[in-house]
Amino acid sequence: DTAVSQTPKYLVTQMGNDKSIKCEQNLGHDTMYWYKQDSKKFLKIMFSYNNKELIINETVPNRFSPKSPDKAHLNLHINSLELGDSAVYFCASSLRDRPENSPLHFGNGTRLTVT
């Protein structure tokens, strides 16, 4: 059973298109995240939701809009894709108030390529 699953695994699209990446976790966690792995392989937080409420919103273009229909899902919609959006995007989840036994569980990543 996959704990954090994100789809699709690969996404190739043209500039200007709108696309979505879906993420679901079956761990019963209350907090979900979207991270972007940049060109230097560094993990950069984009958004964090706790029980469907936005709690972290880093400096991300308005073209990126997260949607959390319930605490088990956090989808990422991207409008008007640009070349610079090409990256690997990771979804993750955790239990917010249990740091002693709640690290982040990551999905396998979505490699987005914008041409």
Partner 1 sequence: ILNVEQSPQSLHVQEGDSTNFTCSFPSSNFYALHWYRWETAKSPKALFVMTLNGDEKKKGRISATLNTKEGYSYLYIKGSQPEDSATYLCARVNAGNNRKLIWGLGTSLAVNP
Toward partner 1, which CB reaches closer, 15 or 56? 56
**Helices then strands (H, E): number in the chain?**
0, 11
8: cis peptide before it, omega within 30°?
yes
Using alpha carbons only, give the angle 6, 85, 7 rounded to the nearest 5 degrees: 10
Q: Rule CB under 8 A: say whether 99 interacts with partner 1.
A: yes
Q: Rule CB under 8 A: say whether 106 interacts with partner 1.
A: yes
CA-to-CA distance for 107 and 22, rounded, in angstroms?
11
Residue 104 CB, nearest distance to partner 1 (Å)?
7
Residue with the two structure tokens 């994100």: 6
Toward partner 1, which CB reaches closer, 84 or 99? 99
Toward partner 1, which CB reaches closer, 37 or 65? 37
Q: Write the binding mask 8 to 47 for partner 1: x where contact by CB under 8 A, - elsewhere.
A: -----------------------x--------xxxx-x--
End-to-end CA distance of the chain: give it in Å, rounded: 34
Q: Which residues bind partner 1 (CB under 8 A)?
A: 31, 40-43, 45, 48, 55-56, 90, 96-97, 99-109
